[in-house]
Structure 1
Amino acid sequence: MRELSKEMMKAGIIEEMLEDTFESMDDQEETEEAAEMEIDRILFEITPGPLGKAPSKVTDALPEPEPSGAMAASEEGEDEEDEEDLEAMQSQLATLRS
């Protein structure tokens, strides 16, 4: 009977400890939410100038970048080099097969 009483007391203590832990976790979440709200409020107060003038979102599509002359030339050169490399590999493969 005493052992049962001791076990029940241990279980009660463990249950209380678990409840305390879960309650503290809830408190942390509430604290984090409050901190985030305070940070947002302070940032809003500090940056009304530049950020206050910024649009909430951009509705226009971004323009397509035009390749510059140097980039276009380098891409053409790379294509030619790739073709030459491919031809060289194909000739080596043909040599190995024969």
Structure 2
Amino acid sequence: MTYVVTESCIKCKYTDCVDVCPVDCFREGPNFLVIDPDECIDCTLCEPECPAGAIFRDDDLPEGQEEYEEINARLAKVWPAIIQKKPAPEDADAWLEVKDKRGLLEE
């Protein structure tokens, strides 16, 4: 089992989840975070910390978000680790309720 960051994180990129991760499994891209499935220990700490509600167990992904399991695994191999909370983008709150953001993901 592992946790997966889904579409709601795109353009929001809050990093509250990073602060509670005991194994530093988060990776940071330009406008999205991912979880390295090889590092995640399924501790459950990150899920309730996400203001965007973007983190789910891999076997609990919402309908239409299944591709994010592969996206997390692929991007975790190339994006650098993030181990400290950072300020969210200035416009993060404006993107919080926006749907269908997949096309905005900067890889």
TM-score under structure 2 length normalisation:
0.17
Q: Which has the larger radius of gyration?
A: 1
Q: Comparing both structures, which one devotes a greater share of its residues to strand?
A: 2
Which of 1 and 2 has higher RCO (CA within 8 Å, sep 6+)? 2
TM-score under structure 1 length normalisation:
0.19
Q: Comparing both structures, which one devotes a greater share of its residues to helix?
A: 1
